[in-house]
């Protein structure tokens, strides 16, 4: 019989009572649950969530801690195993980043689409659902690594699922070559910096245009002269454009800048502020832009809320629209504004720095807008959606990395008189449980 992957340890949470020990049970997996784990029923009817299983698997499971409305389990023996895809990564089953490499492609695509459909159904939103859009493997242009000195060595990689434990890696097949090739050298660099047992660092890397790598290190230690010299050598030898360093919650310090990391959006060139947000892949960003353009149609005046560095605003302005771009990240809004000016779009782009979570743009502030685009963080945009619903805007495009909060916000807009014309799911994070979606609405 097939052996299960090495199981992930799940944290029960501080102060969370663990159930009394229960003997193992044999279960049959019914479906993939929302987090990508297989779902089954125990003998008493309790929902059991079993990582790395597929519908139809018959497995013996150890029963663990309570989770949402069921219990987390671990497969200890596969008695019957359905056909599987061959994982593309040697640390699959330990690294927490890609939970679904074992799922055959048709099942995987259907499941991701169904995650969006189920969220819409629960929110009572009736909408046509398009097929899943996909991005290629090896297209991920940003990543967050974790590093820790333990057992005399430095481990660099990603965390185990639901754990702080770091899984060391030699490479990642999802990353663009400019980032994948940095993993080995970066591990050696950090081994010279994290010298004491327990020293830790998180390293965010982004591949900007021309493979210019932007790196931000958040560490438990301060860099001395020797560390700064090592960083300079590393940047020169491996073509890193900029390295920033942060200790604690202070603003990051630029340790060195060999060149400004930039991205092109339409005719505009945006100089990226340190730590700024980019869509995870250029291919995914282009899909989102295509869907947003189709959603706003021929709108002449557009509000782009949660605009970031201008992923949509600069593209729409370059096509002739007048755009109000609003975000709470001051440095990103300023970078957008400068890029618009340099590209000759200053007359078409107006910017505002505003925390939309606490101070959404009011309905009156949207007066005269033909369309609104909003792309909030995972928590969604409940308050902003209410203001859009109360406005006289005729078209709306909602972009989201969280189908549950997207469905909640769409419900607000539908209750305010909008109709959802369609929703398109997008797989920007291949093999993970995450799925994005774009919804187009009209009055």
CA–CA dist 161, 93 (Å, integer): 9
Q: What pLDDT sits at residue 20? A: 54
Strand partners, 59: 27, 78
Q: What pLDDT sits at residue 128? A: 98
Q: Which of 95, 262, 307, 401 is catalytic?
A: 401
In the DSSP assignment, the letter for residue 160 is B
The answer to whether 179 and 143 are in contact (CB under 8 A) is yes
Strand partners, 140: 175, 281
Q: Which helix (H) or strand (E) holds 193?
A: helix 183-193
What pTM was computed for the model? 0.92
3-state secondary structure 197-216: CCCEEEEEEEECHHHCEEEE
The answer to whether 183 and 170 are in contact (CB under 8 A) is yes
CA–CA dist 72, 55 (Å, integer): 17
Q: What pLDDT sits at residue 439? A: 98
CA–CA dist 403, 440 (Å, integer): 14
Q: Which segments of the chain have a pLDDT < 70?
A: 1-20
Q: What pLDDT sits at residue 396? A: 98
Q: Which two tokens stand for residue 103?
A: 């799922």
Q: Which DSSP string do the residues of 337-372 spell out, in sequence order?
A: HHHHHHTT-TTTEEEEE--TTTSPPPGGGGTT-SEE
Q: Which two tokens stand for residue 154?
A: 């430095």
The answer to whether 107 and 54 are in contact (CB under 8 A) is yes
CA angle 375, 381, 385 (to 5 degrees): 100
Q: Is 401 a catalytic residue?
A: yes
Tell which residue, 247, 222, 242, has the closest CA to residue 232: 242
Burial class (CB in 10 A: 0-12, 13-18, 19+), 430: buried
Where do we find the tokens 């499941």?
Answer: 111
Sequence-ordered list of residues with C-beta below 8 angstroms from that of 163, at least 6 positions apart, any chain: 8, 9, 10, 11, 96
Q: What pLDDT sits at residue 151? A: 84
Q: Which two tokens stand for residue 76?
A: 């200890």
Q: What pLDDT sits at residue 13? A: 41
The answer to whether 295 and 248 are in contact (CB under 8 A) is no
CA angle 83, 86, 87 (to 5 degrees): 130
The strand pair at 31-32 and 268-271 is best described as unpaired
Q: What pLDDT sits at residue 5? A: 54
The strand pair at 436-442 and 371-374 is best described as unpaired
Phi–psi pair at 251, nearest 5 degrees = -65, 145
Tell which residue, 359, 363, 355, has the closest CA to residue 303: 363
Helix (H/G/I), strand (E/B), else coil: 403:
helix
Packed helices 403-415 and 105-122: angle between N→C axes, nearest 10 degrees: 40
Q: What pLDDT sits at residue 1? A: 39
């Amino acid at each position: 019989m097939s052996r299960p992957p090495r199981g992930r340890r799940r944290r029960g949470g501080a102060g969370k009572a663990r159930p009394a020990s229960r003997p193992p049970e044999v279960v049959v997996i019914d479906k993939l649950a929302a987090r990508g784990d297989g779902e089954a029923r125990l003998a008493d009817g309790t929902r059991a969530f079993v990582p790395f299983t597929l519908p139809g698997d018959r497995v013996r499971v150890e029963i663990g801690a309570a989770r949402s409305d069921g219990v987390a389990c671990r497969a200890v023996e596969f008695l019957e195993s359905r056909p599987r895809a061959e994982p593309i990564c040697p640390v699959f089953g330990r690294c927490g980043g890609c939970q679904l490499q074992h799922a055959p492609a048709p099942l995987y695509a259907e499941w991701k689409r169904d995650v969006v459909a189920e969220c819409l159904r629960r929110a009572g939103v009736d909408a046509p659902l398009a097929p899943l859009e996909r991005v290629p493997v090896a297209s991920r242009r940003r990543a967050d690594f974790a590093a820790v000195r333990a057992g005399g060595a430095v481990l660099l990689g990603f965390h185990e699922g639901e754990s702080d434990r770091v899984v060391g890696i030699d490479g990642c097949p999802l990353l663009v070559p400019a980032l994948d090739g940095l993993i080995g050298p970066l591990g050696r660099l950090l081994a010279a910096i994290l010298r004491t047992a327990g020293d830790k660092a998180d390293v965010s890397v982004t591949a900007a245009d021309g493979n210019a790598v932007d790196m931000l290190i958040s560490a438990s230690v301060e860099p001395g002269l020797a560390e700064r010299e090592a960083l300079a050598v590393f940047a020169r030898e491996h073509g890193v454009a900029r390295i920033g360093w942060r200790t604690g919650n202070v603003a990051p310090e630029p340790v060195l800048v060999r060149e400004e990391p930039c991205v092109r959006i339409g005719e505009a060139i945006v100089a990226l502020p340190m730590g700024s947000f980019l869509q995870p892949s250029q291919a995914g960003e282009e899909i989102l832009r295509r869907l947003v353009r189709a959603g706003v149609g021929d709108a002449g005046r557009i509000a782009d809320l949660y605009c970031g560095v201008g992923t949509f605003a600069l593209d729409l302005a370059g096509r002739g629209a007048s755009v109000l771009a609003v975000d709470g990240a001051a440095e990103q809004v300023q970078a957008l504004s400068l890029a618009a000016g340099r590209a000759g779009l200053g007359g078409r782009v107006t910017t505002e720095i505003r925390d939309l979570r606490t101070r959404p743009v009011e309905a009156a502030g949207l007066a005269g807008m033909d369309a609104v685009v909003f792309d909030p963080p995972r928590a969604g945009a409940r308050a902003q959606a209410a203001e859009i619903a109360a406005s006289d805007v005729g078209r709306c495009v909602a972009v989201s990395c969280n189908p549950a909060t997207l469905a909640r916000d769409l419900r607000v807009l539908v209750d305010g008189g909008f109709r959802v014309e369609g929703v398109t799911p997008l797989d920007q994070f291949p093999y993970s449980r995450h799925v994005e979606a774009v919804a187009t609405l009209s009055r």
